Chains A and B, each alone.
Chain A
Amino acid sequence: MKILIIGGGMGGTILANNLARRLHAELQDGKARITMLSASERHMYQPGLLYVALGRMMPDELYRDQRSLLEPQIDFHVDPVEEFALDRHQVRAKSGKTYPYDALVIATGSRIFPQGVPGLEEAAEFFYTEESALRMYKRLREFEGGRVVIAVGVPHKCPMAPLEITFMLHDYFKDRGILDKTQIHYTYPIGRTHSLENVAKWATPEFDRLGISYETLFNMKEIDVRGKVVHSEEGTDAPYDLLIAIPAHKGMEVIEKNGLGKSGWIPTHRHRLNMEGRDNVFVLGDTTNLPISKAGSTAHFEADALAENLAAMVKIGAPVRDYDGKVFCFIEAGKDRATYAMFNYQNPPNPKPPTKAVHWFKTAYNKLYWASARGLL
């Protein structure tokens, strides 16, 4: 069986390594083959960008050579796909080369789309690319107080990011001695301070305790860059001196161009993870249209389930497991405290009060991630 994985991010990499271990014998005797196509020779640990934006990690800590993360039997090429010919069971990549498959896995991820809100790209600081995270850090260093507005687009990668950046900014300003000259104003698209009800129940009194003001049912419509005001779809305004945004995301352009899914999200079966209408095309991570968090842990747990199923299809001709919607997210609650949320399609999360121990575990995970990507954790 020829298994072709498109995308060398967290989902694609964990899947490839997990599969290579399960199919060691089949890869040796030629019964299976794993090929990965990626747009980059480097692998980025994207959750680290939050820390880069606050000067707590350096950009070079976020990267590893992609080849070094992969099991040696995996055939890896830096050759981004341009055309998906699903009826012919092949893709054509930028090099002009065609790659055939028996099973295709699409894990191309997502990208920020600040252009969807007029003025946002020009006015706001954000931390979803290395360049923007560094720019944000330099802007924070120069900030001497004023009104800081956090504004959130939908959908966005890492649902905990709006809360994390808010709590971490609070501690950052406190450490710099400018908290008394700074008002942090948090806005959120729905009618409470976080989409997870139990997280909102914890976060709202924390905001009250820390003097962080908040406004719910606030969706960015446009930014008056000169007047420094965010106008919302709901008809309210948020004036700012410093605007920190979680921009809305889209799937990758190649997905939209090939007509695989609106806005780059591919319709995906929530348990089997196959593309709707295609038995031999699977989707992982941010690329799915599933109503669950766009987060690395989602890609990780989906990859675990899919690896088990693809290996079983090679060995016994049938899948063996359903993905249950499992997600696990750390939540940084400041510079030195954190909690976590774990949930699936059936069970909502119930986060505990933040502790230093969970923060240090998250800090350790920032390093342990590389073992996770290699499929060892």
Chain B
Amino acid sequence: MSRSKNKKGSGPPERPNEQLASEYALGILTNNEKNRADALFVNDPSFRLMVEEWQERLAPMLDEVGEVPAPEKVWSEVESQLFGAPDTGTSASKSPGFWSSLVFWRRLSFTSIAAVAILFSIVALRVGEPQFDPRGRLSFFAALNLAENKPTFLVQMDMNSGVLNIQAANLTNVESRVPELWLIPEGEAPLSLGIIFADGNTALNITRSLLSVFKSGATLAISLEPAGGAPDGKPTGPIVATGLLQAI
């Protein structure tokens, strides 16, 4: 029974319960052993510290696990669990979920454009469940990224008012050209939504005929065009940013 405590060989001797801590961090324990470790973790700071050391040691293995984007509903459930349920009631023309989402995106656009731009290539998140309200409260969001990790354009589309807001990154090297925003329905030709400012916010009124083309999965793109916009209604200049339209 000489091998019951410390394994022979190199390395520092095991501390009490270190084996349990390592197995606990590995996640392999079940039933009674898991319960015992759970209790120690709560009640014994030295055990907790060992577990955390082991967790830290093992965590790089998780890099092997590929990323899988979570379905959008997870975020809305997190949001409603933490901050209150979005109003799914009948009359809600100002459901908290919807408005807090707008407020959220607005805040996001002012406070963390840089962070967002660095963190995502193309961001697409639906905040809250889509609202299939006959009055058409369904609205859209898109984040358009430039090549080479440059800042991002954030787009909000309010289907109620027909106003599209685009918060532009500071677009440099525009020279004599102007950025033009395009909506590209899946599998179709780009439709011009209008000229936007190279920096700051632009509000575009979207015509009724174009409103029907706003659907999740359509692409928004920005190209650089001659002053006055693309002459033939088709993009002629380089595409500098694209992103997917997402219902919020």
Partners in one complex: no
